[in-house]
Structure 1
Amino acid sequence: MLAPKRNAVQQLFFLIGMYGHYLKVYVKTLVEYRADTIIAVAAGIVAQGSTLVFLSVIFQRIPQLADWGFYEMVFIFGLAATAKALNQTIFNAPFTLTGFIRRGQMDVMMVRPVGALFQTIGHSQELNGVGQLITGMVILVYAGARVDMAWTVWTVLYTVIALFSSALIQFAVLLTISVLTFWVHEIRSLIYPVNWLFDFTRYPLDIFHPVLRGLLTYVVPYALGSFFPAAYLLRPGLYSWAAWGVPATAAVVVLLAYGLWAVGLKRYASVAG
């Protein structure tokens, strides 16, 4: 059966609707496995809450850290935590790609009229991301109400753009690593450390060594999806470039990752072969 021909706009709406079906299945999973969902939410609260306790202890002794106040630090942490949870919830495909290839599921995906990467994303929602997403948003709103920042339509819109840009940057970086599975048998020993690097961007880059700042800005650009958008919202005069730089970076790294995916997919050999 041949897939119906669609123009670019029709294809976009088709994919949005298709992903909506994946999300429905995901929501049904959350409802069906209520105990697991409750545990995931509780784990997210504990994980994020422990970091807030750590920051509180630090700021009891140090009023400012690298010129950043307590609630500014909490805001930076909240945006980064929400973005990471968003990535984990809806863009977790890099962590499941190896399994799809080894189990032969990629063979099935490649004969369907929807792209294999889209299907990989649709099948890869992560249950544990829900708890961290909820607590991250609560922390972000809580800190945002206490910092000296004017909340306008633009700042709200930019916050949404920054969160999705960050999720896409994380996805693209990790996809670039996981796509190496098409050439290397085992890649998980690399993808997890690269993922953990994002945790550094929950804090101001000013407190880290210049080498680490350069790594997180220019090599693995996690800071472009966490610290810099938060810094722009808090201090727009100093970080005005982030208004366009963050979404532009997300677009570039996604295109690069997709290009590598396309090359790797051509190299893929069926497990049945």
Structure 2
Amino acid sequence: MGGENMLMPQRNPGQQLLYWIGMYGQYLKIYCKTLVEYRADTIISVLAGIMVQGSTLLFLAVIFQRIPQLADWNFYELVFIFGLAATGKALNQTFFNAPFSLHGLIRRGQMDVMMARPVGVLFQAVGHSQELNGVGQSVTGIAMLCYAAWHLQLNWTPWTLLYIVIALISSAVIQFAILLTISVTSFWVLEVRSVIYPVNWLYDFTRYPLEIFHPFVRGLLTYAIPYALGSFFPAAYLLRPSGYAWAGWVVPLGAMVIMLLAYSFWRIGLRRYSSAAG
């Protein structure tokens, strides 16, 4: 990733990929040590995530005691949609929380130090951005997925399992790319947190079928801020493949395109960066 001020050793693409994987593995090792060392914080975070997601599941159960379907989706389908979206959000928080720290890195001058290292600035920011709260939410999200899938009697094939993995990675990448695009404006403006948090909260809308929302909201979450591409649509494809067949290839392709655009904007912002000491 961009922003190197020092020459890196020449490697072929395969060696470079292994290098990045190994480097990120070191960051994950530090993260795991943090989870073990701060056991109380880890336990509280896990329990908090379970309680938050569990309360939503209880809310859905109460709603469906009074209505059999919501916009033609039954209870277990909604739980499946919610579980997939929640797990994608948890993965983003756990591994790609860097957009929330970028503002501080710039204002405190830490980016000056990061730019002097022979590793991309964005890669370093991602490596240091793991969030404890995502652990509990991922546990609950996966449990909800399995619970709903069991009741729905989904046809589990190797492609189904592979697509769930692809969908979850795509969801985390799409969220990261959208929030990164907003946080990059920190290179030009003093305060972006008043924007990045509301945009992040919009993701919660995609935990429910888009049909229940106003057409404006559906368009917003599909085209302008395409969170639905990494949450509702892949879940709908797994539940109703005949009606959402296009999502099988649009979801991963869309994630790559959105990430490429966000990374291009990141490189533009990084070139405009001037030292905090300047």
Q: Same fold (TM over 0.5)?
A: yes
Within-5 A mapping of 1:194-213: 194-213=199-218
- Secondary structure of 1:146's aligned partner: helix
Once residues 135 and 102 of structure 1 are traced to their aligned partners in structure 2, the CA distance between those partners, rounded to angstroms, is 36
Rounded Cα–Cα distance in structure 2 between residues aligned with 1:130 and 1:109: 27
Q: CA deviation at 1:2?
A: 4.3
- Residue 52 of structure 1 aligns with an amino acid whose one-letter code is L
Deviation at 1:148, TM superposition (A): 3.8
Structure 2 length-normalised TM: 0.97
Structure 2 distance, partners of 1:2, 1:188, is 34
* Structure 2: gaps (5+ residues): 1-5
Q: Distance in 2 between matches of 1:109 and 1:146?
A: 49
2:57 aligns to what?
A: 52
For the aligned residue pairs, the C-alpha RMSD in angstroms reads 0.8
Whole-Å separation in 2 of the counterparts to 1:144 and 1:113 = 45
Shift of 1:8: 1.7
Distance in 1 between residues matched to 2:197 and 2:7, nearest whole Å = 39
**Residue in 2 that maps onto 1:11:** 16
Shift of 1:3: 2.4
- One-letter code of the match for 2:24? Y
Contact 1:148 1:234 in 2 (8 A): no
Q: Tell me how far apart the structure 2 counterparts of residues 230 and 2 of structure 1 sit (CA, whole Å).
A: 44
- Superposition pairs for residues 21-40 of structure 1, below 5 Å? 21-40=26-45
Among the aligned pairs, what percent are the same residue?
A: 73
2:187 aligned partner: 182
Residue 133 of structure 1 and its aligned partner are, at CA, apart by 1.0
Residues in 2 aligned to 1:267 and 1:147: alpha-carbon distance in whole angstroms: 52
Q: Tell me which stretches of 4 or more aligned residues in structure 1 moved more than 2 Å.
A: none
Partner of 1:75: 80
Q: Deviations over 1:141-196 (max 9, x none)?
A: 11111114201000000000000000000000000000000011100000000000
2:161 to 149, 156, 163: 156
Alignment partner of 1:267 is 2:272: yes
**How far, CA to CA, are the matches of 1:102 and 1:142 in structure 2?**
45
TM-score by length of 1: 0.99
| Unpaired stretches in structure 1, ≥5 consecutive residues | none
* Counterparts of 1:103 and 1:124, CA distance in 2: 16
